[in-house]
A and B are shown apart, each in its own frame.
Chain A
Amino acid sequence: MKYMLLIYENDDERVDKMDERMPTCAAYAEAMVKAGIYVCGERLRAVSSTTSVRVSDGAARVVDGPYAESKEQLGGFHVIDVPDLDAALQWAARCPSASRGVVEVRPIWPT
């Protein structure tokens, strides 16, 4: 079953410490690859480079910034393919960002 791990943490700190933390994040991703469960994943640019689009009454509204103003922002994601939710939670707990922010674990709708 596929799950997306959505990584939420303080964005300023994430971007500031990106170089320092990359080796640890890379180790985590590599562990998932070697375990044969990794599908894909990406790092997202700083929230300051985000733009939001909403269409209402047929008109598009474009706003600078993310969908929600919150302390923790989405900074990246991984998609993994594991037997069940317990396995997905185990992997989520290993994400280095889990000790700084929150890792959301969402099952992916099967096609």
Chain B
Amino acid sequence: MARRSYGRLIALLASRDRDIGGAEDALADAFAAALRDWPGAGVPGNPEAWLLTVARRRLIDAARRRHTAEEAAAHLRLAAEELDAPDAGSSGEDERLLLMFACAHPAIDPSLRAPLILQTILGFDAAAIASAFLVSPATMGQRLVRAKRKIRDAGIPFQLPDQGELAGRLEAVLDAIYAAFAEGWSDPAVVGGLADDAIWLGRHVASRLPGEAEALGLLSLMLHARARRDARRGADGSYVPLAEQDPARWDGAMIEEAEALLSQASRLPGTGRYQLEAAVQSVHAARRSAGVSDWRAILALYDALLRMTASPVVAVNRAVALAECEGAGAGLAALDALALERRLEAYQPFWAARAELLARARDAAGAGAAYTRAIGLETDPAVRAFLERRRRALAG
């Protein structure tokens, strides 16, 4: 079944009792029943409605076994009503959004929110999610089970937060989607279409909450990045950094869509991290027509981002933009200041940026050492090879 339908069904099944684990089990049973019955009896006209009905019956059976007689009566009556009117009521679109808010609830550990969303909305199994986030599959499986239990037992609501809280809670949902996007970004072959799945989740949120500027901002950001993905690899699979990419290989239509979203977002109240990040990407994309990048604009945007978030990624990117505007020395000073504030021994982007700037400042020895560190910290062999080429070029 399409990954995307899975989440709708889970959301519909889980919404009343907030029992995601129960919903997953019930739906798994329904799939098993389908595999048994459909080959002989034929695929029903509306397979999803069939699965939903069977899964709901399983939930009722499970509830009957669990509850006392009186608890069961009320519960079963509600459930029976749903069974009788399977086509009326929600299509699951809204429930799916509510499920995402539940997964990104403050009570859920931030590192689990993206994995939870990937599993419950898109049906990824724990092993696939574990690989994407570089965690042991057994550990990821246990953590997910515990998180789903928590949602059920702690009474985490499947509800849109109140207007006052919405922006803050939405940020957690957006952060989780972006985390999934970032993991699926580096090599499409490695985690399949995870980045595309994240974009799909982003589209879903933006379509249900079109008045939320940051939701549009995140979608714009992801589309900008996705539009350039093909240009990021040479014909031989080598890594091509942004500065060397051929804009002709960027997806123009996708960039247009990203720009339209950003424009729409700017007409809505409130700004935030994702709109600023999308704006940076927008400036980079403008190289298509202008031929050069407006680094002053990029620097101003990173200055604003830095005031908003203490993220090391932002700080490193800002230092690079600063170097473009005021020379390698200024950028290196910013990087050095950053290194004093936080532990960066194992932060690859810091060392890669430092190496580039030291090379520009003609400190070949310093650049070589920094490239070596960056190489030692890189997981992607194509990026490693690129850094090694840069290091070799220092000697010449």
Contacts and interface: CB of A to CB of B under 8 A. Distances in A.
B188 interface: no
Interface in A52-99: 85-86, 89-90, 93-94, 96, 98-99
Given A34-B345, A35-B346, A24 B135 contact: no
Interface stretch (B215-223, B271-279, B378-386): B378-386
A79 B136 CA distance: 18
Nearest to A99: B381
B351 to A, nearest CB: 9
A28 B381 CA distance: 12
A108 B139 CA distance: 18
B381 A85 contact: no
B135 A30 contact: no
Contacts of A93: 134, 379
A32 B139 contact: no
Given A35-B345, A35-B346, A27 B379 contact: no
A38 B345 CA distance: 13
Contacts of A86: 134-136, 139
Interface size class of A (residues with CB under 8 A): 20 to 34
Given A36-B345, A96-B384, A27 B375 contact: yes
Given A24-B388, A35-B345, A30 B376 contact: yes
A87 to B, nearest CB: 9
Contacts of B139: 85-86
Nearest to A28: B376
B103 to A, nearest CB: 20
Contacts of B372: 23, 26-27, 30
A29 interface: yes
Nearest to A31: B376
Contacts of A98: 379
B373 interface: yes
Given A24-B384, A34-B373, A85 B134 contact: no
B377 interface: yes
Interface string B353-379: 000000000000000000011011111
A105 to B, nearest CB: 8
A89 B135 contact: yes
Nearest to A90: B134
A94 B376 contact: yes
Contacts of B388: 23-24
A94 to B, nearest CB: 5
24 contacts: A23-B388, A24-B375, A24-B384, A24-B388, A27-B373, A27-B375, A27-B376, A28-B376, A30-B372, A30-B373, A31-B376, A32-B376, A34-B345, A34-B373, A36-B345, A85-B135, A86-B134, A86-B139, A89-B136, A90-B134, A93-B379, A94-B376, A94-B377, A96-B384
Interface of B: 134-136, 139, 345-346, 372-373, 375-379, 381, 384, 388
